[in-house]
Chains A and B, each alone.
Chain A
Amino acid sequence: MLPSLLNNSDYQMIIDYCHGRYGIPIDCWKSFDLYKRKEGLWLVNKDLYKHIPLEETEGFGLRVFSGKSFPYKITHHFVQVFLKHIDKGFVEVSEKEGDLLLKRSSFDIPSEANAPKGYYICLYKKKFIGIALKTEGSFISQVPKSLTNQLRLDLKLGQ
């Protein structure tokens, strides 16, 4: 599938969503374009298509959202790019909750029982350790399998 530049209204919807959900200032997006490609949205510096034939590339930028349609799931790379601008949408997890997150299990955070549904950025001792989806009651881990073991070792969780 060839990458396609997100149209203005879809792009604006993403910007507004990220502002409302994670507090990312709208200005942060002015130097980027978003492309829909495979199952996700790819963030790349603005106007790349003016310089190079994108159909001949094998990849570009970073996948910041996954999924086929709105609302997309934020990825680790989303946090990597925007962390310094994010001021909400975090949850602080305890050692037990962090261990469950890194076991890719679901877990409850009593203090966040009434928090709205959606994707949350999980911090453990102020360190970003992964993303969780809050459904009706529980948080469901979205941490990639490839990172879980090493993160648990590094953070000495569940040992």
Chain B
Amino acid sequence: MDWSLFSERYRELIPNFPDFLNSLSRPFPIGLRENSLHCLPYTLEDKLKKSGVSYKRPVSSLGFFEVAEPRKLWGGDIDHHLGLYYMQALSSLISPLALAPQGNKLVLDMCAAPGGKATHLSELMNNEGHLVACEPDLNRRRILKGNLARLGVVNSAIFPLKGQDLPLEKESFDYILLDGPCSSEGTFREDVISGKKRRKTNYLEYKKFFRDSLHKEQKGLIEAAYYLLKKGGTLVYSTCTYDPDENEGVVMHALQKFPDLSLVPIELGFELNFCPGITQYRGQTYCKDMEKSVRIYPHLINSIGFYVAKFIKQ
């Protein structure tokens, strides 16, 4: 891929930019998140030890393991079919953990497919309460359903709709996760074994109207999330991109439009090398609170790029 447009746009934004660029050509590890809802009489760590696979636990308090075996092997494994684990990048765990939903509450995953975060939310809820998962695309919904069933999720209901079109009253949900559509720049890393680039094009090369329509959709989704959130409820907005227009720009839009929405720090109970959200970029100024949101870069955390912001509705 031609990185010139990418470099031109992000050189001044991302710390240690040469290291960052180098990290994009290094493979990222395959992550396995253990599903605590499974019914098997052994743990994922037991399985890994027994099979002699080398693994790492980047965060000792999380049931998350990084392995260096082919992706195909883990996807075809019987324990994958039986719901012992879900293949996921470490960065993808951050938004459900930041939302930290309690059981017996009503939780919404606005863009739920393929189901990595939805199943994680259900696990964090201990399979209690109710999890509403939205996905308008039929094929993606099939994958979502398969994953929810495979991981033994009993508290979910699937709507074949966009999050904005949910036929529910305002202020219905205690927790909302909006991991919306984005340009996915954070996934520009090589697959660990196949060596294939996960993306062949950079959205910066796309026409302006495409980017504008994406930003418009993101803003529409966060507005819908606001209306569906109860007072005192928690909203997490996340993307897997570096683009400030899709991250801080969307968050700023929500903060300006809804004065009772405020950003709060993301406290996970463990340390990772996050960078704070930015307060200015190329003539755009964002509020000081934006530093409470986090940016994840692959040269600082060996995973994919991500952005996470957490709001409380007063």
Contacts and interface: CB of A to CB of B under 8 A. Distances in A.
B39 A83 contact: yes
A88 to B, nearest CB: 16
A48 to B, nearest CB: 6
A81 to B, nearest CB: 6
A150 interface: yes
Contact of B39 (A53, A63, A84, A151): A84
Contact of B159 (A57, A62, A150, A151): A57
A58 B141 contact: yes
A59 B77 CA distance: 26
B159 A51 contact: no
Interface stretch (B11-19, B88-96, B127-135): B127-135
A58 B159 contact: yes
A59 B148 CA distance: 11
A128 B39 contact: yes
B145 A59 contact: yes
Query: Which of A51, A80, A147 gathers the greatest number of chain B CB atoms within 10 Å?
Result: A80
A74 interface: no
B154 A150 contact: no
Contact of B157 (A44, A128, A155): A44
A51 B159 CA distance: 13
Given A51-B172, A52-B130, A59-B157, A150 B152 contact: no
Contact of A147 (B78, B149, B154): B78
B172 A147 contact: no
A62 B149 contact: yes
B41 interface: yes
A93 to B, nearest CB: 16
Given A62-B149, A83-B39, A45 B128 contact: yes
Nearest to A53: B167
B77 A154 contact: yes
Given A127-B40, A127-B41, A51 B154 contact: no
B52 interface: no
A131 to B, nearest CB: 13
Interface in B125-158: 127-130, 132, 141, 145, 149, 152-158
A151 B127 CA distance: 27
Contacts of B38: 80
Contacts of A61: 154-157
Interface in B71-86: 76-79, 81, 83
A45 B154 contact: yes
B159 A77 contact: no
17 contacts: A45-B130, A45-B155, A48-B130, A51-B106, A52-B157, A56-B159, A56-B161, A57-B159, A58-B159, A60-B156, A60-B157, A61-B157, A62-B152, A79-B39, A146-B81, A150-B78, A155-B78
Given A52-B132, A56-B161, 6 more contacts: A57-B159, A60-B158, A62-B154, A128-B39, A153-B78, A155-B78
Closest 10 CB pairs of A and B: A154-B78, A60-B157, A83-B39, A80-B152, A45-B155, A58-B160, A57-B157, A150-B78, A59-B158, A80-B39
